[in-house]
Amino acid sequence: MLLKAAETRHTDVVRLLIRRFKDFGQVYKDKQPLLIEAVKKEDLALISLLIEHGAKINWEDPTSTTPLMCAAKTGNLDIIRLLLASGADVNFAETSDNSPLFHAINSANLEIAKLFLAEGAD
């Protein structure tokens, strides 16, 4: 139910359902953490709600992608700022070609690349 409420962007229902889950960060859709799904949909309200209720900000999906890497791919600066302000690690990556900075550069997003560098990206 939580996934369906999130998919349909019923933030109020999501808020109620989150209270029932002890570790909703483990809720997946096709093995994707719910926070990553919200970032992919660029749903700022849902992302904020999930973070507010303890979503694991650096949680990786099966391909070692974090919410910040996903946001760098979509290029949504508001989401990136929220993730960084919430503790997302700008250097969290298994390899240099799988870092948030790499994804920003690969997406030709200079503004995001500059932000990551200002935040200490390697």
How many structural domains is the chain composed of? 1
What is the mean pLDDT of the segment spanning 108-120? 95
Residue 37: CB atoms within 10 A of its CB come to 23
Higher pLDDT, 16 or 38: 38
- What is the reported pTM? 0.82
β-pairing, 32-33 with 28-29? antiparallel
Rounded Cα distance between 8 and 60, Å, is 23
Give burial (CB, 10 Å; 0-12/13-18/19+) of 75.
Answer: middle
Burial class (CB in 10 A: 0-12, 13-18, 19+), 12: exposed
Report the CATH number at residue 68.
Answer: 1.25.40.20
Mean pLDDT (the chain, rounded):
84
66-86 confidence digits (pLDDT tens)? 999 999 999 999 999 999 999
Domain of residue 41: give its range. Answer: 2-118
The reported pLDDT for the residue numbered 119 is 96
Distance CA 49, CA 62 (A): 23
